[in-house]
């Protein structure tokens, strides 16, 4: 019985360690972060909002992201869209065409 209670407590600690949100494509798991003033906020990063504009979708209108199975891990960043830093002479293009992702931050 004690083992069951300990496991149950561990489960609830794990579940409440991450913020969750629901969008039309499916559920999201984010993370709690803190500001420099020690205020906690929810962070959801790398949420796809459209299909990647590569291959036959290149130079076409954006198509909404497809639904996913399970919970999307919105704790990882994705590449920026291609760009060049004009302030640094000789800088190269950085980024990736597969860059249609959102980062969402909300108060806890």
Residues, the chain: 108
Q: Given this model, what pLDDT does residue 11 score?
A: 42
Interatomic CA distance for residues 37 and 56, integer angstroms: 46
Contacts of 23 (CB under 8 A, 6+ apart): 47
Q: What is the pTM of this model?
A: 0.75
Q: What is the pLDDT of residues 55-84, one digit of tens each?
A: 999 999 999 999 999 999 999 999 899 999
Burial of 74 from C-beta contacts in 10 A (0-12 / 13-18 / 19+): buried
Phi-psi map region of 93: left, alpha, beta (phi>0 left; psi -120 to 50 alpha) = beta
Q: What is the pLDDT of residues 44-53, one digit of tens each?
A: 999 999 999 9
Interatomic CA distance for residues 30 and 104, integer angstroms: 9
């Amino acid at each position: 019985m004690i083992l069951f209670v300990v496991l149950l407590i561990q489960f609830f600690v794990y579940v409440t360690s991450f913020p969750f949100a629901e969008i039309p494509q499916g559920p999201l798991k984010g993370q709690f972060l803190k500001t420099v003033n020690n205020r906690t906020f929810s962070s959801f990063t790398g949420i796809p909002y459209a299909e990647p504009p590569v291959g036959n979708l290149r130079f076409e209108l954006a198509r909404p992201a497809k639904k996913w199975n399970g919970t999307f891990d919105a704790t990882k960043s994705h590449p920026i869209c291609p760009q060049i830093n004009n302030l640094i002479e000789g800088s190269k293009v950085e980024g990736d065409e597969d860059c249609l992702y959102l980062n969402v931050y909300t108060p806890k």
